[in-house]
Amino acid sequence: MDRKKFITGTITAAFSLSAFGKIFENRDGSFKADCKTTNDILGPFYKSGSPVRSDLTFEGLEGNVIQLEGQVFKSDCITPLHEALVEIWHCNTKGEYDNSEKGFKHRGSFLTGKDGKYTFKTILPGKYLNGEVYRPSHIHYRVTAKNTSELISQIYFKGDPHIEKDPWASNKKAIHRILPIIPAQINGRLTVKFDIYMG
């Protein structure tokens, strides 16, 4: 295979693996991918040290249960990231965060295995006021791993009418973080998929 054909083939292959990334060829013939998950604000309610667990639900919990799942990749867009710590936190259906001294409700951490996959069972969060407008429903993320820059981000949900007036969710860079809620085939559970590409 000549070099040109090989490069074309490689670009096509890489492109199909990344839904929204771009592939650039470096001068030395190697490739650089642009698939990085964009950042968002940390917000005032982050709390470190949330328990490592994938089930954030508990008895008496109100709300629509969702399965939040995805895979963490290295900056090449295709290699799963082993031992990435994925932390999430969100409010309850009334828009309240658990800010009590020892509280970790709706907060959890997941350490990825070799496949880079993570999963959380939790609920769709409610909304809270930011000044005079409601922030759309969102889930906060912090992802850290050895030799990798920290990612602070948030996800939003398609069809949320409060996205338009929210300065962060309506920002162009959030476009790939506004996610559909998919009715899963098994048990009728709602699923949200969010793959993460580290910088």
* Site residues (vs Fe ion, CB under 5 A): 43
Q: Which is nearer to Fe ion, 92 or 191 (CB)?
A: 92
Choice between 43 and 126, CB closer to Fe ion: 43
Nearest approach, Cβ of residue 134 and Fe ion (Å): 11
Burial 54-88 (b: 16+ CB within 10 A, else e): bebeeeeeeeeebbbbbbbbbbbbeeebeebbbbb
CB of 110 to Fe ion, least distance (A): 19
Q: Give residue number: closest CB to Fe ion.
A: 43
CB of 38 to Fe ion, least distance (A): 17
Query: Of 73 and 156, which CB lies nearer to Fe ion in the complex structure?
Result: 156
Residue 76 C-beta-side C-alpha neighbours within 13 Å: 9
CB of 197 to Fe ion, least distance (A): 22
Q: Which amino acid is at 115?
A: D
Q: Which is nearer to Fe ion, 88 or 196 (CB)?
A: 88
CA angle 160, 129, 154 (to 5 degrees): 55
